[in-house]
Amino acid sequence: MGLPQLRKSYDDLLWEKKYPAIEFLKKLTKEDAEEIRKAIKADPKSWFAGYHFNWGMWVRNQLRSAGYGENYFGIQNLDDIYCELVEDAVAV
């Protein structure tokens, strides 16, 4: 799901790194989880596009504020993995 060219970088991250951020997102997205699941089901490849500039920015900022930003993951841009983290958090 999400953009295939970014999936590999997400898959290459250690589970031990992803797990705490996913658990954090489970709490953060609890109220939105069903809507997110529906959006993913309707368009698995680019479901996030309509959310990117508002909700997506909020999610990324929440991750950064909680210590799960670019430095934590050792990546250049959280945009490259936040969608996959959300997908795992809502158990798609």
Give pLDDT, residue 54. 86
Residue 67 structural domain: 4-89
pLDDT of residue 88: 94
Instruction: Using the structure block, give the residue that is written with the tokens 């990546």.
Output: 75
Low-confidence stretches of the chain (pLDDT < 50) are none
pLDDT of residue 2: 58
Split into its structural domains, the chain has a count of 1
The per-residue pLDDT for 46 is 86
DSSP character at residue 14: -
Q: What is the pTM of this model?
A: 0.89
CA atoms within 13 A on the CB side of 1: 22
